[in-house]
Structure 1
Amino acid sequence: MDPNWRPPACWYEPVAAPEQLKDTVQKLKGTHKLMAVNSQRNWDAGLLTDRYEKGEDTFGEGYKNYNIGKKGMFWRDVVRKGHENDIDAMDCSETMFWQDAGTVPHDPNAPTPEVLADYAYDKIRVPDTKIELKPAVRSTVNLPTWIWLNKATFKDVKVRAELPDTPLWAETTAKPIALHLDPGTSDATTFPADGDCQINGDGSIGTPYKTGDSQQDPSCGISYLRATNGTPYRLKASVTWEITWVGSNNDGVHTMPHGTFHTTRDMVVQEIQSINR
């Protein structure tokens, strides 16, 4: 939803339980195959056995018998695809390490609820802005065109992001709050005057047209003051979505930049000629 948001170049996440790591190392023994202990280093079975089975490691902390019997996961860095050569990706240089269950590493590159909220924000897909108009095909000078959106398709959108095997989660919500009308010409009057149609209590916007309303001002709509002459006006209707998130940090509701999406309609406006006798 946010075209400017980009995930970090690298981060840490759980990759293996104790039994899974032991099984992988056992399969590597007697082969020339390697296992990545981070995005920059690959180890053979000998080095893996020393660090994770025997607890002997000249590069840092070792672990006895792959920490089998303990609750937690081994974590390793992940580099975003296409950014393997970025200098920022070098920030995640820790060799695959142990993290107790229910905890998150104290590292600036460890995931946070804020990052998950940004990720969820990026994955939000709001419904297309499909407005209803009356008249739908051809408007008439000085007669209002009624515009509305149905509450059935115009409602909150939620995306939840979780990091497996951790307590981290975030839920981002997009809530429609207004529809702005741009008639495509200065020769028009909008209803309301600023063109901002507010959302109704039931989640809809505007009021559906019904027979007999043609002489009334709509709560949301446009009245064109001049007919088109071969080239239609380009009506633009923009829906603003308020974005908020909550997460596992349990520190309340946070706001994010609003999202605005629009649709356009070609408006042909005719002028009715009257004959005086």
Structure 2
Amino acid sequence: MTTHSRRTVRWGAALGAAAMLWPGGVAHADAPTEDTTTPSTPPASGNANDQEVSAAVSRIRVTQKSGPTGGKQGSLSSTDVSWEPPPCWYEPVMTPEQLKKFSETGVALGHVSPHTSWGGQKLWTDHYRDGKDAYNYEDDSLITRKGYDDYNLGKDGYFWRGVARDPDSFDCERVMFWQDAGKIPDIPNAPTPETLADYAYDKVKVPDTKVELKPQAKSTVNLPTWAWLDKGTFQDVKVRAELPNTDLWAETTAKPVALHLEPGTDNAETFPASGDCQINDDGSIGTPYTKGRAETTPPCGVRYLHATNGTPYRLSASITWQISWEGSGGTGGDLPDGTFETTQDMNVQEIQSINR
């Protein structure tokens, strides 16, 4: 057998076992066959009948509970470069009645797992109505999944399917399966409140706020530039994520805790020396400049030691946001801090005295 990537091998086996009814595709098989070609990804949607399973996208509902909603906003970058939200998880997709309608109407084209799509009514009715086994790759093994009797009509529950946030993740490839209502599947990558907290982290939007400076945009060699943010400039941002048809929920809160300054050149000093300006008790950062303090050291600011020569320095100001979460079942904890950075041009002039 020709050597292929993990993705290619899985696609080949999946397409051999669960045939795609595309022009030039393979016929339905009662047992897995081997395919050494590299199949193309089938379309993500068919007709209006297949909206429930037309693409492997999440049904998690996200709501911002607090924090600013207008103006320029951006996403947080985790301070822990090794941290990532879960690459995939499972979710309830359809009731028996919905699956019956989908399977027996129209093209019946849709995803049965994040990377496998079935096209044609027979594939769906064979497995979910007529009890025939289905075959697919899970964890690098070919798995046989037993079929269902008449879509489990009359039972209370849902058919679940994997969602791959990371398209390169193949860890949630189990063919869409049944789970009784009120229960979470006891399988790897089943969703948890922390799954939702991580998902919400990815949806937190924080304000793109410009730091107040004195002097503004034009500094003077060897004289400090004061930097500050007034109280009320930043508020906690809380995002709630809920997974429908389960009791799972989580609220992720981002709280601003510090401002970090990077002058944009090695020929500068920051105040404090670390460049980290802590948030004050009243929610402000630094101290606003007042007349007569031009030569005093600010609690938060920068001093440039060399003038610019036509090209301004890029002063970077990043806010650190402390992330915590709480969720269903009394769960909760902390997630890695997040940062959001803005930059602004700074021109520095060679004047040794200035009246501010």
TM category (shorter chain) comes to 0.7 to 0.9
Q: Note if contact 2:90-2:160 (Cα within 8 Å) is conserved in structure 1.
A: yes
Which residue is equivalent to 1:66? 152
Which residue is equivalent to 1:27? 105
- Identify if the C-alpha distance between structure 1 residues 219 and 62 changes in structure 2 by more than 3 Å, giving closer, same or farther: same
**Structure 2 runs not aligned, ≥5 long:** 1-75, 134-144
Task: Say yes or no: does 1:220 pair with 2:300.
Answer: yes
CA distance in 1, matches of 2:165, 2:270: 47
Which residue is equivalent to 2:38? none
Task: Say yes or no: does 1:13 pair with 2:99.
Answer: no
Aligned-residue Cα RMSD (Å) equals 3.5
CA distance in 2, matches of 1:192, 1:73: 57
CA distance in 2, matches of 1:169, 1:241: 22
Q: Secondary structure at the match of 1:252?
A: strand
CA distance in 1, matches of 2:306, 2:123: 80
Instruction: Look at both structures and tell me which one has the larger radius of gyration over its CA atoms.
Output: 1
- Identify if the C-alpha distance between structure 1 residues 234 and 261 changes in structure 2 by more than 3 Å, giving closer, same or farther: closer
Q: Secondary structure at the match of 1:20?
A: helix
CA distance in 2, matches of 1:219, 1:187: 19
Deviations 1:169-214 (A, max 9, x none): 2222222211122334455443334322110122221122234443
Matches within 5 A, 1:195-206: 195-206=275-286
Task: Say yes or no: does 1:148 pair with 2:258.
Answer: no
- Identify if the C-alpha distance between structure 1 residues 269 and 105 changes in structure 2 by more than 3 Å, giving closer, same or farther: same
CA distance in 2, matches of 1:65, 1:219: 67
Deviations 1:241-276 (A, max 9, x none): 2222333353332232443524243232331469xx
Q: Note if contact 1:103-1:167 (Cα within 8 Å) is conserved in structure 2.
A: no
Identity of aligned residues (%): 55
**Structure 1 runs not aligned, ≥5 long:** none
Cα distance, 1:167 vs. partner? 1.9
- Identify if the C-alpha distance between structure 1 residues 96 and 193 changes in structure 2 by more than 3 Å, giving closer, same or farther: closer
The one of 130, 134, 154 aligned to 2:214: 134
CA distance in 1, matches of 2:336, 2:272: 27
Count of paired positions: 263
The one of 203, 226, 236 aligned to 2:316: 236
CA distance in 2, matches of 1:15, 1:250: 26
